[in-house]
Structure 1
Amino acid sequence: MKTIMRRPSEVTNVELEDFEHNSDSEHSDVDHYALDLSGEIRAGRFETFVNLTNAIVSASFVNVPITFVATGFGPTFISMVIICLLSWVSGNILIYLESELHVNNLTNLTHIVFGKVGEIIIDILNVIFTFSCTGSYLIIGSDRVESWAKVLGLKIKNRWYKSLIAGIYSLILPVLLSYPLFIQNFAYIAYLITLLIITYTLMISGWSIKQIFILDKLSPTAKGYTYSNRMFTAISIHVSTFALPIMMIPIIKTYNRNVEKRKSIAGMTYVFTFILVTLSSCLCYLVAGESTHPDVLTSFDPKDAVIISSQVIMFLVVTLTYPFVTRSITEFFSFKFSGESRYEKLSFRKRILYASVSNIINVLLCVFISDSSILYGFGGAIPGCLMCFSFPSICCLKITKKKLYSWENIGHIVMATFGILMGITCTCFTIYDLYSTFNTKKTS
């Protein structure tokens, strides 16, 4: 999610006077922009919290419930707790690395620690992860359109009709919004997306509680524990859900320089998003049971007023989130091929060109892959596991002056090994699921 910041010229005289009377701005909790000694304008606490929250939630709300079908309620919940905790640990490691090396993002960090080869590897992983997210947004949005079409009595005869709907929706709304004419006016949408996410959680959770405790519609097929081949795809989805380390450096860098305050705001974000995602996902699974679909909202009666409202909210969330994430891909392409990483400095023609390349790839993913959960999970496999768990620890091992067998380094070795092994395993199973989904679509 793009961090909303004002230019130095937009700082008011009042703020400058406040800074002169309080030069220790690094330790201030005032929730407005602060001017530090280098002349940078730092984002406030609430703004940083909003940006961090938006960076890791969107597709997860509709994709996480299907993971309960793979392993049951207990193991899935435990998996989410473990992945969230490990991601939080990795996030703290990256906050430490940023404070030590003063990097701008993962690519910058990799270049400093490992050189050009490491930078290329991280770039490839980052692109795969980002496209898995943006492609999922388009699939989720098209699922909403398909659901409303069915309510209106339109018949979706086969999977290719669904692909047609996906293509039309993508081109008319999210893709169009990702072009320069629209994206420059979207900074304020970050707060709206957070509000929509909270509203969705309260609405779908309240509806589920009513179904379970008042209408006695607890699904008899909801299991405490089970096993299926999609277990590792489920873990991949959990990794994507809490993959804040991949995106946090550019956001956290604009916040208070105090490391403990940065860790605090990141920790708050993890707790907040874990509660939102876990609460809604657990309750939805208890209502739908084994009938839970990859997109959970399609598991329920599409004519139910609460479900319709929830679909509208999720439609807005993914449609409005897509342009922000696509912009990061556009900036990546522009930096690699034009040497300019700042979107604002690109010519209008180059903005159109790089945005078009990003959008073409996303639309193709949306058209040919019907299951958003598998695509979302693919991003959490090798890309997510390596960048979230292995990469931060490997960087620490590379720059540390402590002995390799110190407890701290042993912990980094365990974390790095876990990320590599889990990434390889999850990738194998997720690729198989992607292949199966494509074949099903091809023959239907």
Structure 2
Amino acid sequence: MSINGNANTDSLRDFTDGYTETNETSPLLRHGAATIRTRGASFASSVFNLMNAIMGSGILGLAYAMAHTGIIGFCILLVGVSCLAAYSIHLLLKICDQTGINSYEDLGMQALQKPGKVLVGLAILIQNIGAMSSYLFILKSELPAAINSFSNSENTGGAWYEDGRLLLIIITLCIVLPLSILPKIGFLGYTSSLAFFFMVYFTVVIVVKKWSIPCPLPHNATSFSTAYQISNSSDSDCTPKLFVISSKSAYAIPTMAFSFLCHTAVLPIYCELDRPTKARMQNVTNVGISLSFLLYLISALFGYLTFYAHVESELLLSYDRYLPRDVLVMTVRLAILLSVLLTVPLIHFPARKAAILILFGGRPFSWWIHTIATLVILGVVLLMAIFVPDIRNVFGVVGSTTSSCLLFVFPGIFYLKISNQNFRSFDSIGAIFLVVFGLIVGVFSFSVIVITWVQGP
């Protein structure tokens, strides 16, 4: 399951070995081509791959974002972020066609020399560490509930399998680490093909369960939530808000940026596309982002209309309070957990590649470097997942920093530096807007989030 957008980058690059020069072939693929290219991926499979790169754990935080921006406010922001994501990919494709470059890091090198390549590599490393942390956080919060559900146990005491941190350490050491330390992990790429179906199933269940939970919410199920303890049984809680502005609204755009980031996978997908042209790849992008937008909107809307202001920052936790033994919720939880578990090693690969690139450059493969980098990255990810109290913190911080850079700032800067277009051209003005928007949103959101932490609840 490609929950953070970057999981299949390395494996997809393996398909870029050579292409026939035809009138339908992009300059990106003719650059240095010397062999005959076999038939590439179809339009539909490329859309599928892109959606696997887009959709991920961000979908679990969007209902929370809607609760703190309002339905109309959320829709406006979601449309804006998705359109800007598609437009920034348009700029990347244009400069890739001009230069023949097929990796995000090399675009940074072309635009800003070595500092640019290091900066992009660092952003990808932090982004993927944040993504892996969010997935392990999901395992920490959901795995004990899943075990309890399937074991039909009423015990809420100190059983070892109810300790999410202990389970997370065991899972990391026994499953994630052995898979991550392999030099190649291409076989796990096939498991990500299930991601789209899991997300569709997740969305369908969210819609169906809207009518399984009464509103006002039962007081006894949420009485331990101090933030809403007084108003739990109020009918006003069942009135959807169209616009909401609060300090928690600052998490909305970063969460959306986190959810739509797929830019490091776009170029490899472009390279493996059958009859690759910029227009054809742009259509792949538009369809993939549109379908992802639809699933995001439906799941966020019905998740919000189920719990309203009481929705958790990780949506499945809300269902755990009210439908702990529900079969559909149990199967969704199991599907998400399985996908998350198999995706973490996939996302680890580009993170480790970026770390080795930053520290050792183009040094030949070394098992020592490979192993140490694997252990250090997984150690950092595990510590973050264990000690970060709320998944919205991961979405907020990573989304406002590296996601904003990779989604908005870098494509705009790279286009302005590499393209030979006049600064008054439409795309140059659009690139300037992307850079300014990304910087403003990133700095503002990050500042509000930090202020919120300092002030406390």
Q: Same fold (TM over 0.5)?
A: yes
Q: Alignment partner for residue 111 of structure 1, among 109, 112, 134?
A: 109
Q: Summarize deviations over 1:125-153 as a string: whole Å, max 9, x none.
A: 22221111111010012211132355532
User: Following superposition of structure 1 onto structure 2, how do residues 219-238 of structure 1 map, counting pairs within 5 Å?
Assistant: 220=238, 222-238=240-256
> 2:304 is matched with which residue?
285
User: What's the CA shift for 1:251?
Assistant: 2.6
Instruction: Point out where structure 1 has 5 or more consecutive residues left out of the alignment.
Output: 28-35
Cα distance in 1, alignment partners of residues 368 and 42 from structure 2? 34
- Change in Cα spacing, 1:368 to 1:125, as seen in structure 2 (3 Å) is same
- Change in Cα spacing, 1:248 to 1:313, as seen in structure 2 (3 Å) is same
SS at match of 1:227: coil
Q: Summarize deviations over 1:309-344 as a string: whole Å, max 9, x none.
A: 111111112112111111111222333344459xxx
Q: Is residue 204–residue 306 contact of structure 1 (8 Å, CA) maintained in 2?
A: no
User: Following superposition of structure 1 onto structure 2, how do residues 5-404 of structure 1 map, counting pairs within 5 Å?
Assistant: 26=25, 38-41=35-38, 42-148=40-146, 151=149, 152=153, 153-155=155-157, 161-180=163-182, 183-208=185-210, 220=238, 222-255=240-273, 256-300=275-319, 301-340=323-362, 346-404=365-423
- Change in Cα spacing, 1:162 to 1:315, as seen in structure 2 (3 Å) is closer
Q: Is residue 54–residue 193 contact of structure 1 (8 Å, CA) maintained in 2?
A: yes
User: What's the CA shift for 1:201?
Assistant: 2.1
Cα distance in 1, alignment partners of residues 8 and 367 from structure 2? 19
Q: Is residue 104–residue 249 contact of structure 1 (8 Å, CA) maintained in 2?
A: yes
- Change in Cα spacing, 1:187 to 1:166, as seen in structure 2 (3 Å) is closer
Q: What letter corresponds to residue 370 of structure 1 in structure 2? A: P
Quick one: percent identity of the two aligned structures? 19
Q: What letter corresponds to residue 71 of structure 1 in structure 2? A: T
> 2:220 is matched with which residue?
none
> 2:8 is matched with which residue?
2
User: What's the CA shift for 1:294?
Assistant: 1.1
Greater Cα shift, 331-340 or 227-236: 331-340
- Change in Cα spacing, 1:219 to 1:61, as seen in structure 2 (3 Å) is farther
> 2:230 is matched with which residue?
none
Q: Is residue 122–residue 355 contact of structure 2 (8 Å, CA) maintained in 1?
A: no
Q: Is residue 24–residue 277 contact of structure 2 (8 Å, CA) maintained in 1?
A: no
Q: Summarize deviations over 1:360-408 as a string: whole Å, max 9, x none.
A: 1110110110312220222210212222112212222223444433444
> 2:228 is matched with which residue?
none
> 2:444 is matched with which residue?
425
- Change in Cα spacing, 1:181 to 1:409, as seen in structure 2 (3 Å) is closer
- Change in Cα spacing, 1:376 to 1:38, as seen in structure 2 (3 Å) is farther
User: What's the CA shift for 1:435?
Assistant: 6.1
Greater Cα shift, 47-56 or 329-338: 329-338
Q: Is residue 139–residue 370 contact of structure 1 (8 Å, CA) maintained in 2?
A: no
User: What's the CA shift for 1:167?
Assistant: 3.0
- Change in Cα spacing, 1:218 to 1:311, as seen in structure 2 (3 Å) is farther
> 2:222 is matched with which residue?
none
SS at match of 1:261: helix
Q: Is residue 330–residue 354 contact of structure 1 (8 Å, CA) maintained in 2?
A: yes
Cα distance in 2, alignment partners of residues 201 and 393 from structure 1? 33
SS at match of 1:180: coil
Greater Cα shift, 396-405 or 113-122: 396-405
- Change in Cα spacing, 1:372 to 1:177, as seen in structure 2 (3 Å) is farther
Q: How many residues align?
A: 414
Cα distance in 2, alignment partners of residues 270 and 156 from structure 1? 44
- Change in Cα spacing, 1:155 to 1:183, as seen in structure 2 (3 Å) is farther
Cα distance in 2, alignment partners of residues 435 and 102 from structure 1? 47
Q: Is residue 251–residue 395 contact of structure 2 (8 Å, CA) maintained in 1?
A: no
Q: Is residue 93–residue 393 contact of structure 1 (8 Å, CA) maintained in 2?
A: yes
- Change in Cα spacing, 1:324 to 1:410, as seen in structure 2 (3 Å) is same
- Change in Cα spacing, 1:311 to 1:416, as seen in structure 2 (3 Å) is same
User: What's the CA shift for 1:26?
Assistant: 4.0
- Change in Cα spacing, 1:285 to 1:170, as seen in structure 2 (3 Å) is farther
Cα distance in 2, alignment partners of residues 321 and 144 from structure 1? 16
Greater Cα shift, 249-258 or 301-310: 249-258
> 1:414 is matched with which residue?
433
User: What's the CA shift for 1:37?
Assistant: 6.7
- Change in Cα spacing, 1:435 to 1:188, as seen in structure 2 (3 Å) is farther
Cα distance in 1, alignment partners of residues 13 and 428 from structure 2? 40
Higher relative contact order (CA 8 A, sep 6+): 2
